[in-house]
């Protein structure tokens, strides 16, 4: 490389790289350090090494092999999985339908998916609170017809509805992108070779749209597993997820090392999952 090109590269690269180094990588590493320090009353840490936070996180309740925090871990991953599966079951046929329309219709429908995608997440979650609340729309209607009120808010169902609602566009858009690229003459080729509809779907269509399924699932799963807004607004703090206990440890409980330990374990699990996913993907490509 010519030396002037090196200078040009340095000018281009260093501001962004330094910014991320200072304001992203350093804070992330700081969390790892904090998780190994002692708790200070009133927030913050005392700079002496201890494994207390991790011991607390992994010590089961007496007589069991689990504790409240681990239950929340399991619940968050389970709900994120449920949300992803529901979004996939609704989103895949929706994306397929859109991809099979005339370009003008398809672009309109796609636009209709984009609008919620760009709309404020908080507002969309609040919309459901407005509907599901005890004095919300459903109960107002029920009351008007003298039915008994239906307590929906602050239940796992409400949280799941909110999460599916928030995530659906994130599933549909990548799915659409991969279905749209699909060459439909392959379906005819498959049928020509004697494949049934079901075989065409499972042996040709599904494998070739797998990248879209994977991308959509990641885009839904990861934000959902760390959800804070939905369980807070629609779960009312009664249905806690990982985001809630993280916020709690950094907020009212003021146990920063413990909060950091939760964040570290959370990230290790997520990153582990992502790395395994990419390994599998790479192997399949070969």
Partner 1 sequence: MDNQFLTWGKRLLWLNMLFSFLFLYIPIVILVAFSFNDSRLGARWEGFTLKWYVEMFSSDAVLSALSNSLIVAFTATTIATILGTMTAVAMERFRFPFRKTFDGILYLPVIIPDIVMGVSLLAFFSLLTSIVNGALGLSGNDSIRPGLVTVIIAHISFIISFVTIVVRTSLKDFDKSLEEAAQDLGADEWTTFRRITLPLIAPGILGGALLGFTLSLDDYVITAFTTGPGGTTLPIEVFGRIRRAISPEINAISTLMLMMSMMLIIISQVVQRRSAKM
Residues 57-116 touching partner 1, rule: CB under 8 A, are 90-91, 93-94, 96-98, 109, 111-116
**Distance, CA of 234 to CA of 161 (rounded, Å):** 9
Q: Which of 237, 244, 270 is nearest to 259 (CA)?
A: 244
Contact range with partner 1 by CB under 8 A, out of 23-31, 59-67, 175-183, 208-216: 23-31
Which of 177, 208, 253, 267 touches partner 1 (CB under 8 A)? 267
Residues 105-164 that bind partner 1 (CB under 8 A): 109, 111-116, 118-124, 126-131, 133, 135-137, 139-140, 144
Output the CA–CA distances (angstroms, integers) from residue 191 to 101, 201, 204, 213, in the order listed: 22, 11, 10, 24
Which residue lies nearer to partner 1 by CB, 23 or 65? 23
Under rule CB under 8 A, residue 229 binds partner 1 = yes
Nearer to partner 1, 2 or 62 (CB): 2
- Residue 49 or residue 118: which is nearer to partner 1 going by CB? 118
| Helix H or strand E segment including 39 | strand 37-39
Contact with partner 1 (CB under 8 A) among 274, 276, 277, 281: 274
Q: Which residues are within 8 A (CB) of 223 and not within 5 positions of it... i.e. 6 or more apart?
A: 167, 170
Listing DSSP states for 140-171 in one string gives: HHHHHTTPPP---TTSHHHHHHHHHHHHHHHH
Among 75, 199, 226, 269, binds partner 1 (CB under 8 A): 226
């Amino acid at each position: 490389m010519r030396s002037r090109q090196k200078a040009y590269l340095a000018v281009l690269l260093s501001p962004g790289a330094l910014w991320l180094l200072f304001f992203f990588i350093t804070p992330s590493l700081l969390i790892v350090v904090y998780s190994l320090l002692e708790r200070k009353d009133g927030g913050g840490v005392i700079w002496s090494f201890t494994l207390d936070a991790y011991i607390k996180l992994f010590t089961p309740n007496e007589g069991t092999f689990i504790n409240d925090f681990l239950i929340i871990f399991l619940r968050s991953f389970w709900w994120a999985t449920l949300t992803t599966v529901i979004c996939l079951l609704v989103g895949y046929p929706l994306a397929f339908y859109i991809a099979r329309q005339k370009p003008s219709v398809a672009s309109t429908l796609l636009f209709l998916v984009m609008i919620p995608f760009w709309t404020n997440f908080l507002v969309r979650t609040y919309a459901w609170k407005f509907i599901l609340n005890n004095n919300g729309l459903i109960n107002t209607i029920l009351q008007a017809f003298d039915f008994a009120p239906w307590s929906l808010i602050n239940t796992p169902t409400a949280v799941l509805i909110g999460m599916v609602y928030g995530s659906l566009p994130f599933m549909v858009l990548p799915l659409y992108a991969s279905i749209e690229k699909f060459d439909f003459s392959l379906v005819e080729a498959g049928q020509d070779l004697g494949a049934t509809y079901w075989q065409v779907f499972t042996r040709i269509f599904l494998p070739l749209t797998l990248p879209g399924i994977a991308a959509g699932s990641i885009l839904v799963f990861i934000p959902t597993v760390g959800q804070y807004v939905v369980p807070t607004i629609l779960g009312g703090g009664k249905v806690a997820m990982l985001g809630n206990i993280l916020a709690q440890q950094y907020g009212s409980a003021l146990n920063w090392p413990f909060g950091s330990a939760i964040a570290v374990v959370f990230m290790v699990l997520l990153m582990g999952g992502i790395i395994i996913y990419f390994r599998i993907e790479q192997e399949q490509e070969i």
